Amino acid sequence: MYYTYAITGLILLISFIINKEKTIKAIKIATVKFKKIFPTFITMLIFISIILFLFPDEVILNYMGNNSKFISVLLASFLGSITLMPGFVAFPLCGILLTKGVPYMVLSAFTTTLMMVGIITFPIEKEYFGVKVTIIRNIISFFIALIVAVITGIFFGEIFR
């Protein structure tokens, strides 16, 4: 995180030294764009806060371990699609699930949908891409996650066990 700030700061400084006017214009563009999308971000945060209340970590943990593998894969991809977690939370959680015996393929379905499918980010994506394309992209991503999960299962020898 601090790394990102350091790099952004450095680039901004270099830009400022090379051309003051252009840099000020860049900051203006940044502010205008940020202001335009900010209400949509708040909307999304409201969704997230409610969904995370309905599906806390423990619930996710429970649902992914206690079923047949295929139902677990589907459930995991469903949960991954509707929740939004930063990677620094998601991967340690998956590490815990792994030690509790949750198969790799289930975790693969969960992490891939978590990263690629965004039902919660729908309001934002729609602002840029429109409703139709947003839906298509998310459906495609969901299937990619399922394919990845199945192949992960094959490689870890989980699928035929």
Partner 1 sequence: MKRNTKIKIAYISVYIFFLIISFMFEFNPGKVIGYNFISFLVYMLKILPCAFILIGLFEVWVKKEVIEKYLGEESGIKGYSLVILLAGTIAGGLLVAFPVTYSLYNKGAKLSIVFTYIGAAAICRIPMTLYEASFMGVKFTAIRLLISLPLVIITSILLGEYLTKRNYKMAEDK
Residue 11 as a binder of partner 1 (CB under 8 A): the answer is yes
90 contacts: CB under 8 Å, gap ≥ 6: 110, 111, 114
Q: Which one among 13, 59, 71, 136 touches partner 1, defined by CB under 8 A?
A: 136
Give the span between the Cα atoms of 134 and 110, in whole angstroms: 20
Closest CB 68 distance from partner 1, rounded Å: 21
Residue 10 as a binder of partner 1 (CB under 8 A): the answer is no
* 142 closest CA partner among 93, 76, 65: 76
Q: Which is nearer to partner 1, 66 or 156 (CB)?
A: 156
Give the span between the Cα atoms of 48 and 82, in whole angstroms: 9
Give the span between the Cα atoms of 144 and 13, in whole angstroms: 41
Q: Which is nearer to partner 1, 75 or 118 (CB)?
A: 118
Q: Which is nearer to partner 1, 23 or 67 (CB)?
A: 23
Tokens of 92: 């340690």
**Coil vs helix vs strand at 56:** coil
Give the span between the Cα atoms of 36 and 48, in whole angstroms: 20
Site string for partner 1, 38-77 (x = CB under 8 A): -x-xxx-xx-xxx-xx------------------------
Q: Which is nearer to partner 1, 14 or 71 (CB)?
A: 14
Give the span between the Cα atoms of 64 and 1, in whole angstroms: 30
Contact positions vs partner 1 (CB under 8 A): 1, 4-5, 8, 11-12, 15, 22-23, 25-31, 33-34, 36-37, 39, 41-43, 45-46, 48-50, 52-53, 86-88, 91-92, 94-95, 98, 104, 107-108, 111-112, 115-116, 118, 121, 124-125, 127-130, 133, 136-137, 140-141, 144-145, 147-148, 151-152, 155-156
